Amino acid sequence: MFAKPSQPAAPIEGPRHVALIMDGNGRWAEARGLPRAVGHREGVQALKRTVQAAPDLGIGCLTVFGFSTENWRRPAEEVSDLMGLVRSYVASDLKRLEREGVKVRVLGRRTGLPADIEAIIERAEKSTAHNDKFILQVAFNYGGRADIVDAAQRHVDLVLAGKATGPLDEETLGLGLSTAGAPPVDVIVRTSGEQRLSNFLLWEAAYAELVYQNVLWPDYGPEALADVVLQYRNRDRRFGGRATPYAAPALAVG
């Protein structure tokens, strides 16, 4: 039996940066007897609704997990469907994102991607680089461990070239991550009821709040995102310290 905090945590502001693991496209489709590709296609619609709703909820940055370094293990047809969705999403939405002041950043390794996808990513980043109203980061061919390894390797390369010195510290390594420059991740959300990070934003997750929602990604939208904001504001973020008075637990846990 644990004692409750002596008083409710003071409401906090934000979140500024929400990261989303968009899970459940396959299950959504299978439940309807439809091909998984339809689930992914509906997933893109959910992504559009969510990006549109974010600024009104005070969110300034969204990071979404579009394709992981492990997703290459899926059948070739599904991999190809997911690549096709990037093509159509950028073709149908890039102009609007440009116009609405959204800066698009794509996190993850470029090597191994089809050449046209690489070019599309570069075009989306370049044409929105000057925007500053909202940041949309799409993790694509992304793995959290790989991103940390790449950041460390970048530092090693600089040291070997005589452009940096050791020892490596957290701030320097953080500057080499693909999320460098974005605000700190306040909350990581996973949909579909699964409760794990699956190699997403491992470094950035250190003090992020975690929210698990029982909604399949194609059903996601403004209401679910508003619920994330509400849950987040009721959390007591301490970053290892003691932000609010807290009654010691009745039982010590060793």
Catalytic residues: 23, 71
Residue-wise DSSP of 37-85: HHHHHHHHHHHHHHHHHTGGGT--EEEEEEEETTGGGS-HHHHHHHHHH
Which tokens hold the place of 45? 């619609």
Binding site for ligand FPP (CB under 6 A): 22-27, 40, 43-44, 47, 66, 71, 85-86, 89, 138, 140, 217
Contacts of 113 (CB under 8 A, 6+ apart): 121, 140, 141
| Residue 21 to residue 191: CA distance in whole angstroms | 7
Smallest separation (angstroms) from ligand FPP to the CB of 12 = 29
Residue 25: CB minimum distance to ligand FPP, A: 4
Residues 242 and 230: their CA atoms lie apart, in Å, by 22
Query: Other CB atoms closer than 10 Å to residue 15's CB: what's the count?
Result: 28
Q: Nearest-CB residue to ligand FPP?
A: 26
Q: How far is the CB of 219 from ligand FPP (least distance, A)?
A: 12
Residue closer to ligand FPP by CB (options 43, 176) is 43
Given the complex with ligand FPP, which of 81 and 186 has the nearer CB atom?
A: 81
End-to-end Cα, the chain, rounded Å: 15
Closer residue to ligand FPP, CB minimum distance, 71 or 172: 71
Least separation in angstroms between residue 107's CB and ligand FPP is 11
Pick 14 or 26: Cβ nearer ligand FPP: 26
Give the integer Cα–Cα distance in Å for 229 and 178. 25
